[in-house]
Structure 1
Amino acid sequence: MNTTPHTPYAGKKAVITGGTLGMGLATAQALLDGGADVLVTGRNPQNLEAARRVLEPFGARAQVLASDTASLADIDALAATVRERLGRIDLLHINAGISSLEPFEQVTEAGYDRAFAVNTKGPFFTVQRLAPLMPAGSAIVFTSSIADEGGMHGMSVYSATKAALRSMASGFAAELVTRGIRVNVVSPGFIDTPTLGVTDASAEERAEFMRLGDQITPMRRHGTSAEVARAVLFFAFEATFTTGARLTVDGGLGQGLTPAAA
């Protein structure tokens, strides 16, 4: 019997913003299972503490840092911490994001500004500050959404932030390719996470969102965080001749499929 541990990511260093729950946490766990050193960030104190408990078995290879992706001061502190604790980054996974379901008439200036600060400004300056720590052969993977194209009721601002993020990723891919850094985008559909991707929804609203997702997704189910994590890790370590690309993880939802009624 082969008892050798399966450690495909041994020696790799990864940073995941928004890594304390859902897709980010699943990606962190997969990396740690594979032998990597991982630093995850988050802002919510309860999520930070829960992530510390989940990742505790991995010991010093797992680090959890409180950091607001919309704060340039926090981003600068993150860069200093990564330089001190990890030294370099082989994978930078930009996963932090927020969303709200709001008809455009109800959108406030404060909500609009916060959405763009978290979903676009934060990612831009995180890459700007952390790219100097990334050697040739490393990768950046953004979590976007299938809402980064097309239109959906109640998601005008969110969709705009994700469309901007997707465009930004293309720009980074062009600017970083000569440095040997690949940049790609994963765009999930309906994924079964603690928030279902809607930050401030009630339990009833999430239940309805789950029902709707199962109904309109051609595969007739939500995806799992682990399925998104596998797509992230494919871009990070397997797709070595791919940059500037977008991969949907959506059960066929964004592909125009029209399966027979269930």
Structure 2
Amino acid sequence: MTSLNGKVAVITGGNSGIGFASAKLFAEQGAQVVITGRRQDALNDAVEAIGPAAMAIRGDVADPAHHREVADLVRERFGGADIYMANAGVNTITPSGAVSEAEYDAQFGINARGAFFGVQAIGPALRDGGSIILVGSLASDKVLEGHAVYAGTKAAIGAFARSWAIEFRDRRIRVNMLSPGPTETEILGKLGVAPEERGAFAEMMAGAIPLGRLGRPEELAHAALFLASSAGSFVTGINLRVDGGMALL
């Protein structure tokens, strides 16, 4: 029997990177997967790649109405959900003195507001004994140049996880934070690193990681599977760092 057989998982930002790798792995492990994202074409491609166990809902995680739509669909289609992974996120590397109000609002809107109202909406639709995974970041613990706003959003995620681990305890719903280090995903391009510079950028980042390389989305997905499945049944309220040891330096 596969580890998520019969489970329903909702993953925000599930059309690329860590979210997509997690959705694909969860489906392979027997789950029905509902992914969300802002681009319909990317969602369509992701669903095709994942297979018949996947479906997609387009929307903006910063909009609470989107989360209510997702929760309603999950109730109607599946009777509820077992796993919620708040993965959608954005990062812009900018020194604090140059951060615009729009940039600040965008990062907090997607990263923190999106996670908060996502859990608020899906919480009543989660079955008792379920799992909530909030994707944080190494940046919430380690100071990285130009990451002050992003780090603040992920520090908020950590506070949410600790609070919700207590708030959901009577329903035996486990809440944990998964904190990646630098990972080989599309976000590297979104950071403003030019295509011709990405090799040098990745090499520079790898030099700051004890294991000597960037993480792979599949490695983060397996960590998420641990938190989502019965393998992590006695784990709640933690920050699981999957960063190749970067937080140590």
Shifted more, 188-197 versus 214-223: the winner is: 188-197
Corresponding residue for 1:253? 246
C-alpha deviations, 1:73-123, integer Å up to 9, x for none?
A: 211111111111222111101101000111112210011011101011111
**Which of 6, 9, 13 lines up with 2:8 in the alignment?**
13
Q: Report what 2:49 is aligned to.
A: 54
Letter in 1 for 2:227: F
**Aligned residues, how many?**
248
Residue of structure 2 in register with 1:87 after alignment: 79
* Whole-angstrom distance in 1 between the partners of 2:151 and 2:142: 8
TM-superposed deviation, 1:209: 3.0
1:198 Cα deviation after fit = 4.2
Q: Does 1:186 align with 2:178?
A: yes
With 236-245 and 45-54 compared, the bigger mean Cα shift is at 45-54
Cα deviation for residue 201 of structure 1 reads 4.0
Shift in Å, 1:34: 1.3
- The answer for the alignment partner of 1:142 in structure 2 is 134
Q: Which moved more, 1:44-53 or 1:144-153?
A: 44-53
Query: Could you report, residue by residue, the CA deviation over 1:57-85 in whole angstroms, capped at 9, with x for unpaired residues?
Result: x22x2101102100112111111111112
Q: Is the 8 A contact 1:19 1:41 kept in 2?
A: yes
Structure 1 residues 178 and 33: alpha-carbon distance in aligned structure 2, compared to 1, 3 A threshold = same
In structure 2, the partner of 1:206 is: 198
Give 3-state SS (helix, strand or coil) of 2:129's partner.
coil
CA drift of 1:163 comes to 0.6
For 2:159 and 2:95, how far apart are their aligned partners in 1? 24
Q: Which residue of 1 aligns with 2:120?
A: 128
Structure 1, gaps ≥5 residues long: 1-5, 257-262
- Quote the offset at 1:184 in angstroms: 0.4
- Relative to the length of structure 2, the TM-score reads 0.94
CA positional deviation for 1:52? 2.7
Aligned-pair identity (%): 38
SS of 1:64's equivalent in the other structure is strand
Distance (whole Å) between structure 2 residues aligned to residue 79 and residue 164 of structure 1: 23
Q: Which has the larger radius of gyration?
A: 1
TM-score by length of 1: 0.90
Structure 1 residue 170 corresponds to structure 2 residue 165? no
